[in-house]
Amino acid sequence: MDCRVVVEAAVPVYDVGSADEAVRIAISKTGEMLNPDLNYVEIEMGERSCPHCGDELEPAFIAADEGLVALELEMTVFNVERDEHAARIARKEIGQRLENIPLEVLEVEVIEDADEDESDSGTEGEEAEPESGDEEAIEDQLDLDVGLDDDDDDVLPEFEELIED
């Protein structure tokens, strides 16, 4: 099974004046650490809320020109047996590249495999391949394939006109 895993990272940034600047720097810094090895990891701003009242807070906490930014890193993990296995793989892969940055798994979502859905519904609507002993069907298929290339004579004069212009 395949899983989509979302991991929260607390990324420190320095010499920032605003929360927006801190978020931009944190995303850039995280992208540099993950690339090129993990360029398939999506980086987004994290969501924070007040633990007492539940009000939404900005994703960055700024004090004395230094900030701590909450980012959500999302990646897909393929061919795992359980959700916990996918979470461990994501934490390990991302954690190896983000040194000294705490990570917490927020969500693990199982991705429904489209191939399984097609195999369950059978071969309805699909064109069957001719068997090796069915020579007439093979010849018919070859005739169809060759018939597609009949317009090649028209392509060259048009190409020559473009070159002349």
Whose CA is closest to 38, among 7, 67, 1? Answer: 7
Distances, alpha carbon 3 to alpha carbons 77, 78, 104, 110, in Å: 5, 7, 16, 4
Indicate yes or no: pTM above 0.85: no
Q: Has residue 160 got a pLDDT over 50?
A: yes
Q: Where are the domains of the chain?
A: 2-114
Residue 22: count of CB within 10 angstroms of its CB: 26
Per-position b or e across 3-15, b if 16+ CB within 10 A of its CB:
bbbbbbbbbebee
Section 41-46 average pLDDT = 90
Collapse the DSSP code of 44 into the 3-class scheme (helix H, G, I; strand E, B; otherwise coil) and give the result. strand
The predicted-structure confidence for 3-41, as pLDDT tens digits, reads as follows 999 999 999 999 998 989 999 999 999 999 998 888 889
Q: How would residue 59 be classed by pLDDT, with cut points 50, 70 and 90?
A: confident
Q: What is the CATH number assigned to the segment(s) 2-114?
A: 3.30.70
Section 88-117 average pLDDT = 85
For residue 154, the one-letter residue type is D
Cβ atoms of residues 22 and 63 within 8 Å: no
* Cβ neighbours of residue 81 closer than 8 Å, sequence gap 6 or more: 1
Section 83-93 average pLDDT = 92
Question: How many angstroms separate the CA atoms of 69 and 102, rounded?
Answer: 11
* Cβ neighbours of residue 27 closer than 8 Å, sequence gap 6 or more: 43, 45, 71
The predicted-structure confidence for 105-158, as pLDDT tens digits, reads as follows 999 998 886 555 544 444 444 444 444 445 554 444 444 444 444 444 444 555
pLDDT at residue 23, as a whole number: 93
